[in-house]
Amino acid sequence: MGLVAVERPKPKTHTVIIEGMRFQPESLTVARGDTIVWVNKDMFPHTATSEGGRFDSQSIQAEKSWTFTAGKKGEFAYTCTFHPTMKAVLYVK
């Protein structure tokens, strides 16, 4: 009887494109430890700000990006504080 080795999946990197006043994809599911990169393709700043305060990119300038590593399970609705009609959800499993 040996020890059962449980392989942890390697963390992945996911990309959310911000373009045309939208987060793409609007719904993203990641695993704990994964990294999410928001890339602003618009010509003006946006933010990725979770409603519960879990994460806040602050202002992401045009052609810039912001990286967040998901450390906690949950469902995180987020928005852009400059454009409250922009809505998306990050699910961390």
Chain positions contacting Cu ion, by CB under 5 A: 46, 80, 82-83
Report, in Å, the least distance between residue 22 CB and Cu ion.
9
User: Could you please report the per-residue DSSP string of 5-41?
Assistant: --PPPPP-EEEEEEETTEEESSEEEE-TT-EEEEEE-
**Residue indicated by tokens 């373009």:** 19
Helix (H) or strand (E) holding 7: none
The residue (of 42 and 54) whose beta carbon lies closer to Cu ion is 42
Is 49 or 70 the residue whose CB approaches Cu ion more closely? 49
Cβ proximity to Cu ion: between 21 and 93 the closer is: 21
Whole-number minimum distance, CB 30 to Cu ion, in Å? 22
